[in-house]
Structure 1
Amino acid sequence: MGDTGLKRHGRDRRPGGNDVARLAGVSQKTVSRVFNNEPNVTTDTRERVLAAAQQLGYRPNGAARALLTGRTYRLGVVALGTSHFGPSSLLVALERAARSINYALSIANSFEDDPSGLAEAVDNLLAQGVDAIILSEPVDDGEEPLVVDVPVLTLGAAPVVHAPTVLSVRAAEGGDAAAAATRHLLDLGHRTVHHIAGPQRWWAARERLENWRHTLVAAGADVPEAAEGDWTAARGYEIGKVLARDPGVTAIFAANDEMAIGAIHALHEAGRPVPGEVSVVGFDDIPVAAHVWPPLTTVSSDNAELASVGLNYLVDYLNQPDSPPAPPPKHVHNLVIRDSTAHPPATEKGDTRA
């Protein structure tokens, strides 16, 4: 690729799509297809167009694209106004994934203490003319369904939505995260697993609690009463102090890592070592989880993969709205086994487990 020759009346001018097409040796329509992330473009051609665009410093004009296509190439994300690791890291991953496919994001927060926050956040995004709505970590706003007049993508559990099309990315069959965490503790020989649940207005917290309960029932194990937390280490510590007083507690699954770490603090303080007397599993695999003592067994949800899978699924549909949506893709969680889980202590009469 040689001299770009972008001059107008002796001055440099802004490169256009036709300049990219000329430099890459393709048609202007092909350039449009690449930047609109449309199908039927070979990998070699796509890379050639992107290389030419980078050399020229070309950026597609969003307003012009909207006039030509009737789309804004902007997606609305309903997020929670929270600093907790799971929601905040997913939001960063969504922004990064959107940028990689030449989409912009508009973000509206749905605050946990606002009973009408979800509907108001959606209305705010629709007023900006977004092409679709993404529900990321929604909370329950009541019994009324959410009404949206553009396609909706839900990531994980979500409320009832009335929309032209509702797409969803859920955990892979047989690989549900909470179930895997609970089964891991049962497979180690623990007779049951206690649960420190997340706040039940969160759909994700409900899903984890239900899958924990279902796994215990399916295994024929007792189902202890779950204790509802608030995602914080402080609340995990308070619940951990109560659980530490019960000698029958040998395994705990917490709905996030912060509560798990708080519970471990309480257990150590009560003289109940982890995992010597009590095994603990968390959720999220926050960066510090591998560096607490003992290193925490937890569920790792690859938010970068979830964001990429979800956005590509949504954009594929937006590019071909007259075709039936593809089958929903599945998102796989991974159980990361570290040193906070072990076989239960052999303290009961006739129990020979080591």
Structure 2
Amino acid sequence: MKKIQVGIIGTGFGANVHAPIFGLYEGFEVKAITSDYRGRANGTLRDIDVNNIYTDWNEMLEKEELDLVSIASSPNYHYEMTLASINKNIHVLCEKPMGINSTQTLKMLEAQRTTNVMGFVNFQWRLTPVRLKIKEILRNKELGEIQYIKYHGSFSSYENLTSQYRGWEGRRKEGGGLLFAVGSHMIDSLMWWMDQQITDVYADLKTIVPVYYGIDGIEERDSEDAFTVIGHFQNGVSFTADLFYPALRGNGWELEIYGTKGSLIMNNDKDIKISFGGDFYKITIEGQEVPSQLPAPANQYFNGLYPMVDLIYKSIVNHKVYPDIPTFIDGHQVQMVMDAIYQSAINKTIARVNNK
């Protein structure tokens, strides 16, 4: 099997999740990893099996012969890191969100299109067994014509928000906020499931815990920790998507899809129940077993990211993008929706999505 040389940017999620899962795949070799924070990399990467460690991502791109760069930095760096990698003729896997706004993501997409490199965005959750099953059900029109979708998440994170610093995740200008972090996945899955773009949105964004008083000083936050979005797909079907992160006690994920022939309910990305007019019954879903040697937190992402890594390998080796793998096109489409969501929340009105 041909070995694809990977460089990883990011010693947080990149080192703790991307590196171990890439390391499991026979066709990839993690050649180098870099941090943006000087003095941090060596201490952070003691347990990572990689020989070349950098504290400057530009230096890694200059010195290493890489086939793929996996970008897992804060979102405000995605744009320049992606363009620099494309300039070096290196394939890119970019964490979500793809950029800070759709002006950036369009330029990233256009740059990628002028070369032979491939661009992927890590919407890995669409590739979990549960979400793939939902895609199969909708693709086969088992529920008939879809009439309405409700997508809700609530999480028990109030204690975390009130007991520790959030860093860049609490700062909107650096790409922080739950819309970028979690909402991007929700929007991607909705459009992928429906095979439809979103055309308009009405949104409300909230920062429930705007300040943290820690021993190192006060942290003021302006990124949202809760949001509600109402919108429509191209075919007129409406949806509601909302997330409440700072709950004292949350209830996880709930998805409801209603069609002319049946209804579907998904709970916590584990269980699917379907009704065709009678009682709901559970659908059996077979997933790949998580390798016992995979440490936390990487083991929590295995069922989505490992299939993503597999499709990236096949796409690069066979010079064609495989179905269902999220690309720069998907990243840009999601970003246009999020731009409209922010516009709607600021202006307190319905916003059209600039689907260009």
TM tier, smaller: 0.3 to 0.5
Q: Which has the higher contact order (CA 8 A, sep 6+)?
A: 2
Q: TM-score, normalised by structure 1?
A: 0.38
Q: TM-score, normalised by structure 2?
A: 0.38
Which structure has the larger Rg over C-alpha atoms?
A: 1
Which structure has the highest strand share of the two? 2
